Structure 1
């Protein structure tokens, strides 16, 4: 991996104070409708007959009219959360593809791009920023082994970037997320704390920074921001591939509902009467203390409670205990980043919780891509 040259507004002919994140008041997957509200809104929508999966988890799994062939499909979009337009495009693409990877689907047959160009921008800003976002999205499509072949572009008050990912595959090429058994463990493939990092990075240019400067330095915040950005732009493709190699019993990806929100959803889908207990939370270094101080000031990200929104987060993979460490080791060998065993599958009533003895794992920053 090598250092990336980040976006400089002045070098691109824009005002030195231009910030892409000023084009929205919500960031990334923090824009999601709350989980309980969403489930109520979606009541009554159809579910597939027989094999397959409809609304509720990461992707829909639908039988096609061709015997033995399934369509795996998902969509996602959100608002800017980093100031580098190119990296924002990559993050949006990685986020959409993660829903396929959570099903153990290693390939994507087609991507559609959804783009809302902010009406707040001047013509010059649109002409500079929009092509970079598109290029970032398309470059990560190529890295993932797919291509973008259409979509929709509109004018919108806030910038929107996302897409639709589709894969046509046979049953043995995807893994349904409902096979957990007592004694399994949960593995997480990316650290938490991205939403705190991108917010804190914006605070260092405001008076709000005074509330945090005794706890953390601007350099530490900038390092965490870069680590979050690179993590969000990294594909979960390796995890999807290794799910097959190590016989995963299911997975989900971590986005706007927070790690506990997504694991609760995963628990409800299980065939066996089991529950999930989280015993460790890997968090980007310094973000735990920033989140704690923010909560004292009335802005509670609920990081330790498991409900802090993440964008393009890692996979939570259900694995047998004897294979989990091998999975983590191979992820690190291939992607040069760690993965962690964070929880246990126990007999229960399809619920998820965080252990009272939960420990925080401080994840040091690897600011390369």
Structure 2
């Protein structure tokens, strides 16, 4: 395949077999892979590792500082190279915010089909990532590039946090309220984009949602009433909520009617604009989810819809809810909403 000519529009998504966080290995397959991984000595300074499938690793440097380290990368979810770079960078940085930390530096991970993509296109992807890092106040201090069959872009991100203020995904308590920071539906919109069914307003909503940095995470780490924190990405709302439930040994109870959705998502999902990852997600963890009789197949799919650069998911004490919602509102997250609660019971999720 030769490089595209000027009169043939380039579709970045045509190079990728799956876009955004929908590229993740299915949760059931990933669990099987990790189950076969050998153990290794864990130093006492490693405060957060792989044991609870948390958002990032955390390593204690001293009594006042701990280092947060994470990485995330994927194939294009949109055709505009600049937007692709922005989305990928926002998604990668989110893991630091989801631990309650402050990002300090990033390294770029770039894999591109050099013989198929114009260098200008590759440059715009990198520029998009740089623009988001600038918004987060961090430099891209280096990175690594390879010649790849599919376009891949992402970041290694490092951050800092006080050891006593780390917000893990495993520390929710019975009675905690669940708050979601961003509306769901990115996977549906990306599927609609690939099918040519996404209008300009829908595309604008998707870009706004996926390029909004989860900055409230840092302020949430200061609140004693916030007990657990994560972000919703490729495994969908149910998958990441299950991680909270399993870590705490509690049941997460969701109210379907309270979950915010991006504009037009319900209608597009009913038209069949769904991702393959949504079904793989359900196959991987559906056995730990109890759905009320009134939950429709479309609603089930929305709950497993892979979210690229999705919102923060907070478990907090009831008397902290108003403060958390006000914090989200101040940072421009107008759709943040209470979507359920944690309760005693078998570790899993129930939806009514």
Relative to the length of structure 2, the TM-score reads 0.84
C-alpha distance in 2 between matches for 1:293 and 1:120: 37
Asked whether 1:15 is paired with 2:7, we answer yes
Task: Give the counterpart of 1:351 among 328, 344, 348.
Answer: 348
Pair 1:276-2:252 in alignment: yes
User: Any conservation in 1 of the 2:107–2:141 contact (CA below 8 Å)?
Assistant: yes
Query: In structure 2, what is the Cα distance between the partners aligned to 1:198 and 1:17?
Result: 18
Render the CA deviation track for 1:37-65: whole Å, top value 9, x for unaligned: 1122123344734561211121112234x
**What does the per-residue CA deviation read over 1:314-357, in whole Å, with 9 as the maximum and x for residues that have no partner?**
010111122223322331233153211111111123322322xx
Where do residues 180-329 of structure 1 align in structure 2 (5 Å cutoff)?
A: 180-204=172-196, 221-245=199-223, 247-270=225-248, 273-280=249-256, 281-294=259-272, 301=278, 304-305=299-300, 306-329=303-326
- How has the CA–CA distance of structure 1 residues 33 and 40 changed in structure 2, closer, same or farther, with 3 Å as cutoff? same
Shift of 1:242: 3.2
Query: Offset of 1:228 from its aligned partner?
Result: 1.1
Instruction: Give the secondary structure class of the aligned counterpart of 1:328.
Output: helix
Distance 1:162 1:300, change over 3 A: closer
Residues 1:48 and 2:42 aligned together: yes
Alpha-carbon contact 1:82-1:229 (below 8 Å) kept: no
Deviation at 1:16, TM superposition (A): 4.7
| Partner residue in 1 for 2:293 | none
Q: Distance in 1 between matches of 2:64 and 2:126?
A: 35
Residue 144 (structure 1) aligned with residue 136 (structure 2): yes
Q: Which moved more, 1:44-53 or 1:187-196?
A: 44-53
Would the aligned equivalents of 1:277 and 1:343 in 2 still touch at CA under 8 Å? Answer: yes
Structure 1's consecutive aligned runs of 4 or more residues displaced over 6 angstroms after TM superposition are 297-300
Residue 63 of structure 1 is matched in structure 2 by: 60
Alpha-carbon contact 2:252-2:340 (below 8 Å) kept: yes
Query: What's the secondary structure of 1:192's corresponding residue?
Result: coil
The 2-side partners of 1:14 and 1:45 are apart by: 52
Q: In the alignment, which of 154, 173, 197 is matched to residue 146 of structure 2?
A: 154
Q: CA deviation at 1:87?
A: 1.5
1:108 and 2:103 correspond = yes
Gaps of 5+ in 2: 280-297
Match of 1:77 in 2: 73
How far has the Cα of 1:17 moved from its partner?
Answer: 2.3
**In 2, are the aligned partners of 1:94 and 1:232 still within 8 Å (CA)?**
yes
What is the SS of the residue equivalent to 2:48? coil
Give 2:94's match in structure 1, choosing from 91, 94, 98.
98
Contact 1:282 1:340 (C-alpha < 8 Å) held by counterparts: yes
Of 149-158 and 18-27, deviating more is: 18-27
Compared with structure 1, are the counterparts of its residues 287 and 181 closer, same or farther at alpha carbon in structure 2 (3 Å cutoff)? same
Q: Deviations over 1:83-110 (max 9, x none)?
A: 22111111111111111111111x1122
| TM-superposed deviation, 1:160 | 0.2
Gaps of 5+ in 1: 1-9, 205-217, 356-369
Secondary structure of 2:272's counterpart equals: helix
1:208 alignment partner in structure 2: none
Structure 1 residue 243: Cα displacement:
4.1
Q: How many residues align?
A: 322
2:25 paired with 1:33: yes
Cα-to-partner distance string for 1:70-89 (whole Å, 9 max, x where unaligned): 22111111000112211111
Cα 1:174–1:298, aligned 2, differ >3 Å: closer, same or farther? Answer: closer
Distance apart, 1:121 and its partner CA: 2.1
Q: Deviations over 1:282-304 (max 9, x none)?
A: 21122122223317x99684562
Q: Is the 8 A contact 2:275 2:305 kept in 1?
A: no
Measure, in 2, the Cα distance between the counterparts of 1:193 and 1:246: 31
What SS does the aligned partner of 1:98 have? helix
